[in-house]
């Protein structure tokens, strides 16, 4: 038995609703199976049945219905347990296990570290599986974008960005929506002189043109092209006429501009 190989998750993308991605995870050593942010039950059950898998865990990044909508139904049919943000337990339907900053969660033999990253909501968590180089971040980071600040502040989002961008650059970012092309178009308006962004914007337009998903993306590419993760770069501060301002304020201005884009 070689742990290095066996602790790498098998990950299946399930597109649901308009533009959501639900992620099915399987530990190859134990067969333990999880689903991240199930918006709808039927597509998840179809993906499970197709592979002969049964559901053991539901992982929630935050309380929104397009991430928790199938919690109760899937739990009732499979007996799966639900893990989500401890600090937002009251808003996570059917939650069994609360996790918080720095906690470890094991999907079978695949351990994840939990990051508490409130900003989009007051209770977001992200699950990082280091051996699988996989980060499940819900609506906190999108490729070249970020979630709306519905319950948190720019300072909270900047704190989350700093902690998540410090993860290894070869980490795959599994976000919960296919917003990449719209994000790239906005990013070009505030960071037009960034060659990495221009190249990536072109690449994702082509991918979507071929009907291909863009998610997951690599964290090192986010560091180079995501304007919200680059709020401490003078070019981004200049774009919102805030040279010298703290990065959290630049991030707030960028997010406000994106809200109106």
The residue from 120, 124, 128, 191 that is catalytic is: 120
Q: Among Fe ion, Zn ion, none, what binds residue 222 when CB lies within 5 to 8 Å by partner kind? A: none
Q: In the annotation, is 115 catalytic?
A: no
Size of the site for Zn ion (CB under 5 A): 2
To Fe ion, the closest distance from the beta carbon of 231 in angstroms equals 22
The residue from 64, 88, 128, 191 that is catalytic is: 64
To Fe ion, the closest distance from the beta carbon of 167 in angstroms equals 21
Task: Quote the CA–CA distance of 219 and 144 in Å, as a whole number.
Answer: 10
Task: Quote the CA–CA distance of 258 and 35 in Å, as a whole number.
Answer: 30
Task: Quote the CA–CA distance of 204 and 216 in Å, as a whole number.
Answer: 12
Q: 139 or 191: whose CB is closer to Zn ion?
A: 139
* 177 contacts Zn ion (rule: CB under 5 A): no
Closest CA to 85 of 98, 95, 70: 98
Q: 139 or 222: whose CB is closer to Fe ion?
A: 139
Listed in sequence order, the residues at least 6 apart from 220 whose beta carbon sits closer than 8 Å to its beta carbon are 169, 170
To Fe ion, the closest distance from the beta carbon of 147 in angstroms equals 7
Q: 178 or 191: whose CB is closer to Fe ion?
A: 178
Q: 15 or 79: whose CB is closer to Fe ion?
A: 15
Task: Quote the CA–CA distance of 21 and 15 in Å, as a whole number.
Answer: 5
Within 28-87, the residues that bind Zn ion by CB under 5 A are 64
Q: In the annotation, is 37 catalytic?
A: no
Helices then strands, each counted (H, E), the chain: 10, 14
To Zn ion, the closest distance from the beta carbon of 69 in angstroms equals 11
Helix (H, G, I), strand (E, B) or coil at 54: coil
To Fe ion, the closest distance from the beta carbon of 69 in angstroms equals 10
Task: Quote the CA–CA distance of 42 and 59 in Å, as a whole number.
Answer: 17
Among 45, 124, 139, 222, binds Zn ion (CB under 5 A): 139
Q: Among Fe ion, Zn ion, none, what binds residue 178 when CB lies within 5 to 8 Å by partner kind? A: none
Task: Quote the CA–CA distance of 227 and 235 in Å, as a whole number.
Answer: 10
Q: 139 or 178: whose CB is closer to Zn ion?
A: 139
Listed in sequence order, the residues at least 6 apart from 114 whose beta carbon sits closer than 8 Å to its beta carbon are 99, 100, 101, 102, 103, 104, 105, 125, 126, 127, 128
Two structure tokens written together for 74: 């899937």
Interface contacts to Fe ion, rule CB under 5 A: 66, 139
Under the rule (CB under 5 A), what is the footprint of Zn ion? 64, 139
Q: Provide the annotated active-site residues.
A: 62, 64, 66-67, 120, 139, 177
């Amino acid at each position: 038995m070689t742990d290095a190989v066996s602790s790498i998750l098998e990950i299946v993308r399930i597109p649901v609703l308009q533009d959501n991605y639900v992620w099915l995870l399987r530990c190859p050593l134990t067969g333990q199976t999880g689903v991240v942010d199930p918006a709808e039950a039927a597509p998840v059950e179809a993906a499970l049945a197709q592979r002969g898998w049964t559901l053991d865990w539901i992982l929630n990044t935050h309380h929104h219905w397009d991430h928790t909508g199938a919690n109760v139904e899937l739990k009732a049919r499979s007996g799966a347990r639900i893990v989500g943000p401890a600090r937002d337990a009251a808003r996570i339907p059917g939650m069994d296990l609360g996790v918080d900053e720095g906690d470890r969660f094991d999907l079978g033999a695949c351990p994840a570290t939990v990051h508490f990253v409130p900003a989009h909501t007051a209770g977001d968590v992200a699950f990082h599986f280091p051996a699988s180089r996989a980060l499940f971040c819900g609506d906190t980071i999108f490729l070249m974008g970020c979630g709306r600040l519905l319950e948190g502040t720019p300072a909270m989002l900047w704190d989350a960005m700093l902690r998540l961008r410090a993860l290894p650059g070869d980490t795959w970012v599994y976000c919960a929506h296919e917003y990449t092309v719209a994000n790239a178009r906005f990013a070009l308006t505030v960071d037009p002189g960034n060659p990495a962004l221009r190249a990536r914007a072109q690449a994702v337009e082509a991918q979507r043109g071929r009907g291909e998903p863009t998610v997951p993306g690599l964290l090192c590419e986010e560091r180079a092209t995501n304007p919200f993760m680059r709020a401490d770069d003078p070019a981004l501060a200049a774009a919102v006429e805030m040279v010298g301002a703290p990065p959290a304020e630049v991030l707030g201005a960028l997010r406000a501009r994106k809200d109106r884009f």
